[in-house]
A = this chain, B = another copy of it.
Amino acid sequence: MSIDERGAVCVLGTGLIGGSLLRAAVAAGYPAFGYNRSENGAEAASRAGFDVSVDLSAVLRRAASNDALVVIAVPMPAVEPILADIAALAPQCWLTDVVSVKGPVAEAVGKHGLTANYVGGHPMAGTSESGWAATDPELFRGAVWAVGVDEGTRVEPWSRVVRLALDCGSVVVPVLAAEHDQAVARISHLPHVLAEALAAAGAGGGELALGLAAGSFRDGTRVAGTAPDLVRAICEPNAGALERVLDETIDALVAARDSLRADGGLGKLVEQGYRGRVAYDERVAWEITGVTPGAPGWLDELRQAGRRGGVLRTV
């Protein structure tokens, strides 16, 4: 397949992320179809004109015969069982995923002997909603899509994943699985945990406190409105990295608390946080250019560029 052709895409799981991806892929001209476990979800997608079935075996056989790029878009707890089916029915298909951790998915992929076919992915997009009803073909526009560049990554699946991400309107950050997981512990999983803690503390103040709550509480607790099972499925597979950054955050809060107790001031936390937010506001997603996929050292060049804030805008 030439890089100008849009090969078939098979999305497994048509919830918020998978369903939005299916819609975005179709909108971008890909022949795309999908599987969903629940009949309600599959029917909703079908009624909207998309080719989604509850028959996983049939979907995977179709993927195999169409040389489709298979996208795993189920929550982490469902990844392992679905990989067993992929290994049995579509073992030659290129494979990616949109799960929020990369190490555990890569490990499960390896257990099923599919590592050579696989390139991890993670679009940094979402809302506190879930299910087909919340899907949006524009969900990925302007978003960042992490794509794996681990040792052994092959050019063809890598290019197909990057092309799909770009065609959905995202820019691509090349990243090692382990470094991805450490980074998202800080900027995705920790925000969930702190939002839950803040929401619990606010509600602990009863109706008076919730009645006085304004913008800072509303924004700080937004993601605590996500269904608890989904929060667990997003955060808990990254337990190790999340535990380390929680340690760091607890230390910072203890220092602020002790400082308040000692002299009534918040210590250095306020300046540190302000500098962090300014760094976020001023970050520049510069374009990575001059790296030829497959040329000697390409994966290492991409990794290093990703670490320095570089993104791919073309493939």
Q: Interface on A for B, CB 8 Å cutoff? A: 124-127, 143-144, 146, 173, 175, 179-180, 182-184, 186-188, 190-228, 231-232, 235-236, 239, 242-243, 245-250, 252-254, 256-257, 260-261, 264-266, 269-281, 283, 285, 306-309, 311
Contacts and interface: CB of A to CB of B under 8 A. Distances in A.
A232 B228 CA distance: 34
B197 A249 contact: yes
Contacts of A198: 190-191, 194, 249, 273
Contact of A195 (B208, B216, B281): B216
A160 B6 CA distance: 68
Given A183-B209, A219-B222, A200 B254 contact: no
A126 to B, nearest CB: 7
A105 to B, nearest CB: 16
B212 A252 contact: no
A221 B276 contact: yes
Given A235-B266, A274-B199, A208 B307 contact: yes
Nearest to A214: B124
